[in-house]
């Protein structure tokens, strides 16, 4: 009798991955993926950021959950459901960061509408604590490059909401890649992993 292969028949169902480019940003990025069906998986991602170079000091972390659905798969074998898989994945995350040397300041003038004159104005922020959370969707490709070694490239984006405890003025503007930014943001990741 012929029978269809189930997820329990595969030799490897787990993938432990490390973010490759996150080290540039003083961040350690770990990912754990577990196949829960032949074309579905759960991914738990955690990052830790630690930077202290005598001038800048930042410490923080992020937790993320993904539910992946592999839309297209090529090269099935006895070890893993595919050799190359294209996926879509909704995600949700929460992130914290303490920046002990924000050094955000402004010294100049601001126009007073009521008096019709310019007045001296300044602010100086040294430390900011951020918390960010959000959700969105990823798309990506995962490939087995050796029997147990995986390569995973993810791109996507979604909503990010950020809060901070600083007394920056309301008109202060964050750029899209800064921790204080709220709005729609792009996201990407590249990992190398090990099946077990």
| 0.85 exceeded by pTM | no
Tokens of 14: 């787990």
The Cα 145–Cα 143 span in angstroms is: 6
Confidence of residue 113 (pLDDT cuts 50, 70, 90): confident
Q: What is the DSSP string of 23-40?
A: GGGTEEEEEEEEEEETTE
User: Which string of DSSP letters, residue by residue, matches 76-130?
Assistant: --SSSS-SEEEEEEEEEEEEEEEETT--EEEEEEEEETTTTEEEEEEEEE--EEE
Reference 35, options 52, 15, 55; nearest CA is 15
Q: How confident is the model at residue 2 (pLDDT cuts 50, 70, 90)?
A: very low
pLDDT at 3: 46
Tokens linked to 158: 């979604």
Nearest Cα residue to 142 out of 72, 85, 66: 85
127-143 pLDDT per residue, tens: 889 999 999 999 999 99
Per-domain residue ranges of the chain: 12-101+128-195
**What is the pLDDT, as a whole number, of residue 105?**
62
How would CATH label the architecture of 12-101+128-195? Beta Barrel (2.40)
**How far apart are the C-alpha atoms of 138 and 43, rounded to whole Å?**
12
Question: At 123, is the pLDDT very low, low, confident or very high (cuts 50, 70, 90)?
Answer: low
Please provide the average confidence, as pLDDT, over all residues in the chain.
Answer: 89
Return the pLDDT at 170: 67
Tell me which of 80 and 136 has the higher pLDDT: 136
């Amino acid at each position: 009798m012929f029978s269809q292969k189930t997820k329990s028949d595969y030799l490897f169902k787990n993938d432990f991955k490390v973010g490759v480019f996150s080290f540039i940003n003083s961040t350690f990025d770990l990912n754990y993926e577990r196949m829960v069906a032949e074309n579905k998986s759960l991914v738990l991602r955690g990052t830790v950021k630690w930077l202290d170079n005598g001038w800048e000091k930042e410490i923080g972390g992020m937790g993320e959950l993904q539910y992946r659905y592999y839309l297209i798969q090529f090269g099935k074998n006895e070890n893993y459901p595919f050799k190359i898989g294209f996926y879509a994945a909704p995600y949700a995350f929460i992130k914290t960061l303490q920046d002990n040397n924000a050094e955000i300041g402004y010294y100049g003038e601001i126009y007073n509408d009521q008096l019709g004159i310019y007045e001296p104005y300044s602010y100086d922020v040294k430390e900011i604590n951020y918390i960010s959370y959000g959700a969105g969707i990823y798309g990506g490709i995962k490939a087995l490059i050796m029997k147990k070694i995986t390569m995973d490239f993810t791109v996507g984006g979604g909503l990010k909401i950020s809060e901070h405890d600083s007394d920056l003025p309301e008109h202060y503007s964050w750029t899209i890649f800064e921790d204080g930014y709220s709005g729609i943001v792009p996201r990407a990741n590249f990992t190398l992993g090990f099946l077990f």
